[in-house]
Amino acid sequence: MKKWWVLSGLLLISIVGLAFYSIPQFKVVNAWEGEEIVLPNKVWKLQFSEKISEKSLDNNFIYITDDKGEKLQTELELSDDQKTIYINPPENGYDLKSKQYTVHFKKGIKSALGRELNSSYAWEFVVKETLPVVGSQEKLAGYFEGILKEQEKSRGWFGGLKESISEDTAMEDSSSANKSAGGGDVSETNVQVQGVDEADIVKTDGQTIFQAEQNKVRIIQAVPGAQMKLLSMIPYDETFSPYQLFLEDEKLVVIGQQYHNFSKPYDKIAKDSLIAPMTQSTKVIVYNVKNPAKPAQIREIELEGGYVSGRKVDNQVYLITQHYPDFWLLKENREIDIRPKYFDSASETKEKKISYDDIRYFPESREPNYTMIAAFDLNLPKKEAAITTYLGSGNQIYMSKENLYLAVQNQGDLAMEERGVIASDTDIHKFAINGMDVKYHSSATVPGTVLNQFSMDEHDGFFRLVTTKGYAWDETKPSSNHLYILDKNLKEAGKIEGLARGERIYSARFMGDRIYMVTFKETDPLFVIEASDPRNPKVLGELKIPGFSNYLHPYDENQIIGFGQDTKIVAEKGSSQPRILTDGVKISLFDVSDMSNPEEKFTEIIGGRGTYSPLNHDHKALLFNKNKNLFAFPISVYRNSDKNEYEQIFEYQGAYIYNIDPAKGITLKSKITHIDGKMPYYEEWESQIQRLLYIGDTLYALSPAKITSHNMKTYEKIGELGLGLGGKE
């Protein structure tokens, strides 16, 4: 009997021991090897496998020493999910005089469950004043070889690196400005920042309309509207696709994607020449259109990679591209040159490679791509473009007249298998702009990720952004949303954290001292934030309504327009979680005159499920003028079927024109369609209205197939010009 008790006890101990060791260790999940290079205001983050005890936020457990072993004065912060500890830099940043610093964290750190860290760690780092330079072929090859090793180690876990071109489809919000030209008031592209123009598929000077469509650019005489005619067409072969335009002082800038064909296999060319050939690039072609019937090419610039975004301030054009090199070629021969290439007709007749000394890298990034920023002056066609190149970047940008900001997803410290499981943060890199001079200024890291450009803003020298930390689908670690306000050196000035747990940001709008943010999961909370004191922003109001707004547009200082989707909550039998179904397009007019009590004064629901507008994802599709009582956009309308909740029936394709009045509400004034006769059973892509604009008292609607002109008082059609398809006009 005694023997049986002994055996039972040993068995129980074995089971308990096995259970203990089968539980994952409490550990730091950051992947860290060797000495790191960081910038002066680096915020270190220690990410743990489980929640941390608040008692572990102790400078005896976590601290930083300089090269003399002296402990620095640093502040520790615990993340919203209690799994990350942030170590903020000293008040004036890290001193560049110290040759080396060390991050220490000791075994005394405990989890919220009382489990102790399995060992002590020490991370060494050096501080650089500005972004470090690649400098050599050896260093560049080593960077990409490190990424190759991570890929092989991960064996296809989350975070696998994809070689794909990424376009910036983020919406950018502001009200359209007006100017006098040609036939009177002329609508302009709906831009993010007043005075900073954005490339679009249609531009006008008040007399002529320029349209990028498939493999051509059309130049159309628009005035008078009853006598429109095609003045000229710039055709391109199948290797070039134009899709964005700028227009400035009789100069037309065409931005498009250039594809390169080879007579030999790509990898053979690379091995034989030891240079990775340029397969696709972003090309800019500048024309003199003083005589729009005879456009004359005056300049050409080409940057390897995909188009991200373009901006123009007066006569200065800024082009941002992103290139994913074929770094797998280094497996074949590490001497193969994978630097990005460019061409500028102002300086050379052949393409050139970026010098190793001109490639800088973001220390925190492990992204296998280049970002190139080209700046050129439309008034100086013979002056070479200024090109800056950065290794390891993202594709979200914000630009004011003085500064350009790049938002880069930061997951460089995470092991490959942790990416996509543990939410990444965002590095912000600021560049000062002075004409063609684009210089790196400073950097910062904030928790969470930005949705798009609307998540960022610059005001009175402060940079503001809203982020979502975590994933809305993760019920064990609910997402939350934050506002961060950074000073001119990107040091944190103020913040609000932990808004709308379990939801994510769908849109944001910065209007001076007021900030509006929409989150969503089942309902649409509109947050109203007052930020006149950037060091102490406050949530003053919150409004919960069905649906969500993808885009927020100002009506005036006390009214804001939301554009998005209506939603329906459907109860599921046998489940505590309801289903959320998107329904028709929804327009809301919010009254925020009382910031603590925002009100949805008026709504308009268009169609049912399947109804969509380009304005849901592209702000440039909006034509808005408060003084003209004009809120117009393209739309495709579907109605719900009575037989099946998943079936939608096509109903209308064209554009809707509304009058939005704070006293009278949202009123449909007219519809415009380019479909002749009865509506077909399905949409016609060639008849899809893409843009609306006005010149004086005439409204114009453009689709791939035609342009129509309309009286803005009656919306009666006064002219039509067929534009043809497939290159034939």
Answer whether residue 79 is part of any domain. Answer: yes
Pick 576 or 267 by higher pLDDT: 267
Q: Has residue 135 got a pLDDT over 70?
A: yes
Q: What is the pLDDT of residue 110?
A: 87
Q: Has residue 609 got a pLDDT over 60?
A: yes
Q: What is the pLDDT of residue 119?
A: 79
Residue with tokens 């803003």: 457
Average pLDDT of every residue of the chain:
86
Q: What is the pLDDT of residue 171?
A: 36
Stated as kind and residue range, the H or E segment containing 271 is helix 266-273
pLDDT tier, 146 (very low <50, low <70, confident <90, very high otherwise): confident
Percentage with pLDDT > 70 across the chain? 86
Q: What is the pLDDT of residue 14?
A: 55
Token pair listed for 363: 């220390």
Q: Give per-residue burial for 537-575: e unless 16+ CB within 10 Å, then b.
A: bebbbbbebbbbbbbbbbbeeebbbbbbbbbbeeeeeee
Token pair listed for 337: 């040159």
The Cα 185–Cα 178 span in angstroms is 6
Q: What is the pLDDT of residue 728?
A: 45
Whole-angstrom CA distances from 597 to 544, 563, 663, 680 are: 11, 20, 18, 46
Query: Domain holding 117: CATH number?
Result: 2.60.40.1220
Stated as kind and residue range, the H or E segment containing 145 is helix 137-154
Q: Has residue 364 got a pLDDT over 80?
A: no
pLDDT tier, 265 (very low <50, low <70, confident <90, very high otherwise): confident
Could you give phi then psi for residue 220, rounded to 5 degrees?
-120, 130
pLDDT tier, 174 (very low <50, low <70, confident <90, very high otherwise): very low
Rounded to 10 degrees, what is the CA torsion of 145, 146, 148, 154? 160
Answer whether residue 67 is part of any domain. Answer: yes
Instruction: Supply the range of the domain harboring residue 61.
Output: 36-129
Pick 1 or 660 by higher pLDDT: 660
Domain count, the chain: 1
pLDDT tens digits, 193-229 = 999 999 999 999 999 999 999 899 999 999 999 999 9
pLDDT tier, 317 (very low <50, low <70, confident <90, very high otherwise): very high
Answer whether residue 58 is part of any domain. Answer: yes
Pick 313 or 130 by higher pLDDT: 313
Q: What is the pLDDT of residue 561?
A: 96
Burial of 88 per CB tally in 10 Å (0-12, 13-18, 19+): middle
**DSSP-assigned states of every residue in 324-347:** ---TTHHHH-TTSB---EEEETTT
Cis check: omega of the bond before 537, within 30 degrees of 0: no
The Cα 28–Cα 16 span in angstroms is 25
Q: What is the pLDDT of residue 359?
A: 93
Average pLDDT estimate for 558-587: 80
Q: Has residue 617 got a pLDDT over 70?
A: yes
Q: What is the pLDDT of residue 564?
A: 92
Q: What is the pLDDT of residue 283?
A: 97
The Cα 456–Cα 453 span in angstroms is 6
Answer whether residue 357 is part of any domain. Answer: no
Q: What is the pLDDT of residue 472?
A: 63
Q: pTM of this prediction?
A: 0.85
Q: What is the pLDDT of residue 20?
A: 44
The Cα 118–Cα 110 span in angstroms is 10
Average pLDDT estimate for 402-430: 72
Strands 101-105 and 62-65: antiparallel
pLDDT tens digits, 68-83 = 999 998 888 887 778 8
Answer whether residue 153 is part of any domain. Answer: no
Pick 74 or 12 by higher pLDDT: 74
Answer whether residue 487 is part of any domain. Answer: no
pLDDT tier, 690 (very low <50, low <70, confident <90, very high otherwise): very high
The Cα 233–Cα 218 span in angstroms is 5
Average pLDDT estimate for 94-114: 88
Answer whether residue 94 is part of any domain. Answer: yes
Could you give phi then psi for residue 184, rounded to 5 degrees?
115, -145
pLDDT tier, 601 (very low <50, low <70, confident <90, very high otherwise): very high
Answer whether residue 73 is part of any domain. Answer: yes
Average pLDDT estimate for 553-580: 80
pLDDT tier, 164 (very low <50, low <70, confident <90, very high otherwise): very low
pLDDT tier, 392 (very low <50, low <70, confident <90, very high otherwise): confident
Average pLDDT estimate for 53-77: 89
Token pair listed for 616: 């849901």
Q: Has residue 711 got a pLDDT over 60?
A: yes
> What are the beta bridge partners of residue 456?
465
Average pLDDT estimate for 167-184: 38
Average pLDDT estimate for 139-152: 83
Most confident among 165-169, 418-422, 446-450, 660-664 (mean pLDDT): 660-664
Name the nearest CA neighbour of 78 among 87, 65, 91. 87
**Residues 587, 562 contacting (CB under 8 angstroms):** yes
Q: Has residue 245 got a pLDDT over 60?
A: yes
Window from 23-32, 377-386, 389-398 with minimum mean pLDDT: 23-32
SS3 assignment, position 691: strand
Strands 437-446 and 425-434: antiparallel
Average pLDDT estimate for 400-405: 95
